[in-house]
């Protein structure tokens, strides 16, 4: 029996609870590595003598984390206690999560809207991102006693130490003021985006008009030029009489943190919400009600976490074995992409390939010293025009829609030009490392500290406001209509019926 188990049993005896009630209920790997549920459950036991901050319970939790480290998990954890020796904050992550952050830490989502259990409503903070299968991956976790700015500063500093000082390129949060201030102090170079789900939820509660919420969602996610966005915003405000509404005015001031029209070219890999871990909490939430102590909580948390990692292994196997069925008319290009991208990323690319049917390329192109500029438009929309540059020596593509830079998948305009040029292989310049089957086959230590940009097969030369298609100031595409492709927030692998557990909306 582990030292942590002995210590927690001793603690339970002191508070008057029998040890037979201490069986854990969660997802355990069987010898065949197939996750299953055990055939027993914990009866709920309430005891007023039990305390969340009890010293014996904290020592048992730390011993549990040390036990994981002794089993090769390469654990990193930090905790903080108050003047009376009671636990205030606990931060932890393991070696695999830290390695995932090296590969996929370009975008970081922070979710603090969940409580620990029915009795212990301390916020659980989850640092998450998107892996090469477009699945949610958890980088680190924490339990905190409060949600003040100083608490978040301490938390982010521990995260920075654990991740060897690598800062994220983009951080998505719920918009809490203390959280925003802490991010600006610890990650000053990180761009900040507000969670789309929180914005829409706040719109429903503060304005209480479903039609206005629907129009706000359209303004948030649709493809508009900045001038067109401003015009539609003014129309919405006038239509619903919101000129003096303080929340609406504040949202307009922060439009560069949530409106698609104002954040193009920023690499957020289609991540628009901080709560992609819904499926994780759907599984974990029902089990957390049975937690009698901190060790139970950590065990349940890691059992659910292990199941999600097992799904990643399954996705790795599926991507590495078998051939995809080719469905489009551009089979050579489709086959080339299927051999490079993971299965989920390839299917996303295939939707782009299918959309390329509706794109028309102008035969006249502008020739510059090192590149050619093509005009493309969508069928039936002669006023919608984009420009795509192509450099023959380097096989580099750039589009005025900035879809490649924003999501990491070539946009339909670039794909159409590739077809127009009779290309049958995916050029390496259009393949982001993070979406490939070999995304995690990187030698440890090859990343640069503080580099929060997307990992790619080539050396990207992107500035803070996205790529430019200018050559010696001859061409400027800033006034052209831009469109981007957006990955759906829903993570099919994370979907589970039932409401998330203990979700608390920030206001």
Quick one: DSSP state of residue 21?
Answer: G
Angle at 352 between CA 347 and CA 353, to 5 degrees: 90
Listed in sequence order, the DSSP H helices in 69-172 are: 95-104, 149-162
Q: What is the pLDDT of residue 153?
A: 96
Same domain as 476, residue 373: yes
306-311 contact pairs (CB < 8 A, 24+)? 306/27, 306/29, 306/35, 307/27, 307/35, 307/283, 308/135, 308/136, 308/137, 308/138, 308/280, 308/493, 308/494, 309/96, 310/29, 310/33, 310/35, 311/135, 311/493
Q: Which helix (H) or strand (E) holds 137?
A: strand 136-144
- Nearest CA to 433 out of 272, 311, 267, 313 is that of 267
- Count CB-CB contacts under 10 A for residue 235: 11
Which pLDDT score is estimated for 98? 94
Cα–Cα dist 341/347, whole Å? 9
10 or 188, greater pLDDT: 188
Please tell me the total count of domains within the chain: 2
pLDDT band at 457 (very low <50, low <70, confident <90, very high): very low
- Same domain for 282 and 164: yes
Residues near 495 by beta carbon (within 8 Å), at least 6 away in sequence: 278, 279
One domain for residues 144 and 186: yes
Residue 102 lies in a domain: yes
Residue 307 has pLDDT above 60, yes or no: yes
Indicate whether 54 and 143 sit together in one domain: yes
CA end-to-end distance (rounded Å), the chain: 46
Whether residue 154 has pLDDT greater than 90: yes
Query: Do 449 and 380 sit in the same domain of this protein?
Result: yes
- Asked if 277 and 366 sit in the same domain, the reply is no
139: domain CATH number is 3.30.420.10
Mean pLDDT across 198-214: 92
pLDDT beyond 90 at 458: no
Q: pLDDT, tens digit, for every residue of 155-175?
A: 999 999 999 999 998 898 888
The answer to whether position 162 is within a domain reads yes
Q: Residue 221 pLDDT > 80, yes or no?
A: yes
Q: Which domain holds residue 406?
A: 327-485
pLDDT of residue 5: 58
pLDDT at 15 over 80: no
| 336 in a structural domain | yes
The pLDDT of 132-144, averaged and rounded, is 91
Integer angstrom CA distances of residue 487 from 221, 271, 309, 407: 11, 7, 22, 8
Q: Residue 281: its pLDDT value, please?
A: 58
Report the run of H or E that residue 299 belongs to, with start and end.
Answer: helix 294-320
Helix (H, G, I), strand (E, B) or coil at 36: strand
CA angle 347, 349, 354 (to 5 degrees): 95
Together in a domain, 45 and 110: yes
Query: Measured between alpha carbons, how far is 92 from 100 in angstroms, rounded to an integer?
Result: 15
290 has pLDDT over 60: no
How far is C-alpha 253 from the geometric centre of its chain's CA atoms? 24
Rounded CA gap, 217 and 184, in Å? 27
Tens of pLDDT, residue by residue over 310-355, are 999 999 999 998 889 999 999 999 999 999 999 999 999 999 999 9
- Rounded distance between C-alpha atoms, residue 485 and residue 480, angstroms: 16
Question: Which is higher by pLDDT, 44 or 66?
Answer: 66
Q: How far apart are CA 288 and CA 475, in angstroms?
A: 58
Residues 187 and 53 in one domain: yes
- Window from 178-182, 190-194, 310-314 with minimum mean pLDDT: 190-194
- pLDDT for 50 equals 36
Cα 439 to the chain's mean position, in Å? 16
Q: Which residues, 6 or more positions from 94, have their beta carbon under 8 angstroms from its beta carbon?
A: 68, 73, 74, 75, 76
| 277 and 382 belong to one structural domain | no
- The reply to whether 261 falls in a domain is no
For residues 45-59, average pLDDT? 53
* 50 assigned to some structural domain: yes
Q: Can you give the length of the chain in residues?
A: 507
Task: Count Cβ atoms within 10 A of the Cβ of residue 311 and give its class: 0-12 exposed, 13-18 middle, 19 or more buried.
Answer: middle
**Comparing 124-138, 190-204, 330-344, 441-455, which segment has the lowest mean pLDDT?**
441-455
295 and 429 co-located in one domain: no
Task: Round the CA-based radius of gyration of the chain to a whole number and report it.
Answer: 25
Identify whether 58 is part of a domain. yes
d(CA 52, CA 47): 12
The answer to whether residue 242 is domain-embedded is no
Closest CA to 185 of 142, 145, 151, 146: 151
Same domain? For 300 and 428 the reply is no
> pLDDT value at position 423?
95
The average pLDDT across 200-217 equals 93
In a domain, 97, yes or no: yes
Among 74-88, 322-336, 492-506, name the one with the lowest average pLDDT: 492-506
Is pLDDT of 34 > 80? no
Q: What is the pLDDT of residues 54-73, one digit of tens each?
A: 577 788 888 899 888 777 77
Residues 435 and 286 reside in one and the same domain? no
Q: State the average pLDDT for the chain.
A: 76
Task: Provide the pLDDT for residue 156.
Answer: 96
């Amino acid at each position: 029996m582990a030292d942590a188990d002995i210590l927690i049993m001793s603690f339970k005896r002191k508070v008057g609870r029998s040890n037979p009630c201490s069986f854990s209920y969660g997802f355990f790997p069987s010898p065949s590595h197939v996750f299953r549920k055990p055939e027993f459950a914990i009866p709920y036991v309430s005891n007023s003598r039990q305390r969340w901050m009890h010293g014996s319970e904290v020592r048992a939790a730390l011993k549990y984390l040390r036990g994981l480290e002794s089993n090769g998990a390469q654990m990193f954890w930090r905790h903080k206690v108050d003047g009376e020796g009671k636990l205030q904050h606990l931060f932890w992550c393991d070696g695999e999560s830290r390695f995932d952050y090296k590969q996929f830490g370009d975008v970081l989502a922070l979710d603090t809207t969940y409580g620990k259990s029915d009795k212990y409503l301390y916020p659980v903070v989850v640092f998450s991102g998107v892996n090469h299968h477009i699945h949610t991956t958890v980088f680190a976790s924490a339990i905190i006693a409060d949600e003040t700015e100083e608490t978040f500063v301490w938390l982010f500093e521990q995260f920075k130490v654990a991740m060897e000082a690598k800062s994220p390129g983009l951080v998505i949060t719920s918009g809490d003021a203390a959280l925003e201030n802490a991010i600006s102090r610890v990650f000053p170079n990180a761009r900040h985006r507000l969670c789309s789900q929180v914005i829409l939820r706040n719109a429903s509660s503060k304005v209480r008009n479903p039609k206005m919420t629907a129009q706000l969602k359209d303004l948030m996610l649709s493809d508009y030029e900045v001038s067109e966005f401003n015009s539609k915003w003014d129309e919405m405000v006038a239509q619903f009489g919101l000129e003096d509404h303080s929340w609406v005015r504040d949202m307009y001031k922060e439009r560069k943190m949530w409106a698609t029209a104002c954040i193009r070219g920023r690499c957020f890999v289609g991540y628009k919400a901080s709560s992609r871990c819904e499926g994780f909490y759907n599984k974990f939430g029902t089990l957390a009600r049975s937690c009698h102590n901190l060790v139970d909580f950590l065990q349940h948390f890691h059992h659910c976490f292990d199941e999600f990692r097992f799904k990643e292994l399954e996705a790795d196997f599926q991507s590495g074995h078998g051939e995809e069925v080719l469905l489009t008319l551009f089979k050579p290009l489709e086959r080339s992409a299927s051999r490079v991208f993971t299965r989920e990323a390839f299917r996303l690319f295939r939707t782009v390939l299918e959309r390329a049917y509706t794109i028309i390329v102008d035969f006249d192109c502008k020739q510059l010293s090192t590149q050619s500029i093509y005009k493309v438009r969508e069928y039936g929309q002669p006023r919608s025009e984009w420009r795509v540059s192509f450099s023959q020596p380097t096989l580099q593509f750039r589009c005025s829609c900035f879809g490649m830079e924003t999501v990491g998948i070539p946009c339909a305009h670039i794909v159409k030009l590739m077809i127009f040029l009779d290309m049958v292989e995916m050029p390496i310049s259009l393949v982001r490392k993070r979406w490939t089957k070999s995304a995690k086959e990187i030698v440890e230590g090859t990343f640069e500290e503080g580099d929060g940009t997307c990992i790619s097969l080539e050396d990207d030369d992107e500035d803070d406001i996205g790529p430019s298609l200018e050559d010696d100031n001859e061409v400027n595409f800033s006034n052209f209509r831009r469109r981007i492709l957006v990955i759906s927030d829903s993570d099919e692998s994370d979907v589970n019926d039932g409401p998330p557990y203990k979700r608390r909306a920030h206001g």
